Amino acid sequence: MEKVAVNWTGDMSFEVDVNGFKIPIDADEKVGGKNGGPRPKPLILASLGGCTGMDVISILKKMRVEPDHFNVDVDGQLSEEHPRYYEKIHITYTLKGKELDREKIEKAVNLSQERYCGVSAMLVKSSVLTHEIIIEEA
């Protein structure tokens, strides 16, 4: 079982302890925060990007595909009504390198999305997840 500690530090601010790493979270000043850290919801997008990014780079290394640059951008569209949640999430995988094999990259991304990324598996139950792959020649 995994455990995360969320400790109140005053006003709308908290310090989150994840695996011994401290992450401040806070609210916008309009709702009583001091803008001292990220909001909780976008951290879900960060978790998704990190989870699938680690999967993809690991799978690509096993396939002997090594990009010079790899980036994952995650965009989330919130619902209009409360509780506001991400209705749509779009992931953009950007890779740069020489002679990168698109088929292998697509396979790695699909394996992450369909089999390995637990964050994707959770979010797909409440959100529409889409993705695209951008390959730039170095």
Please check whether residues 10 and 52 belong to one and the same domain: no
Quote the domain boundaries for residue 65. 40-137
Task: Count how many residues are written for the chain.
Answer: 138
Please tell me the distance from the alpha carbon of residue 53 to that of residue 107, in angstroms, as a whole number.
13
Amino acid at 28: D
Instruction: Say if residue 34's pLDDT is above 90.
Output: yes
C-alpha span between 94 and 57 (Å, rounded)? 12
User: Do 55 and 101 reside in the same domain of the chain?
Assistant: yes
The number of folded domains in the chain is 2
CA-to-CA separations, 108 to 19, 54, 69, in angstroms, rounded: 27, 11, 16
**Local confidence band at 138 (pLDDT 50, 70, 90 cut-offs):** confident
Q: Are residues 10 and 26 in the same domain?
A: yes
Q: Where are the alpha helices (DSSP H) in 2-137?
A: 40-62, 102-111, 118-123
Alpha-carbon distance 22 to 116, whole Å?
26
| Alpha-carbon gap, residue 40 to 116, rounded angstroms | 24
Question: Are 122 and 69 in a shared domain?
Answer: yes
Quick one: pLDDT at residue 46? 98
Instruction: Return the structure tokens found at 36.
Output: 């001292």
Indicate whether 50 and 77 sit together in one domain.
yes
80-126, pLDDT tens digit by residue? 999 999 999 999 999 999 999 999 999 999 999 999 999 999 999 99
**Per-chain mean pLDDT for the chain:** 97
H or E element at residue 121: helix 118-123
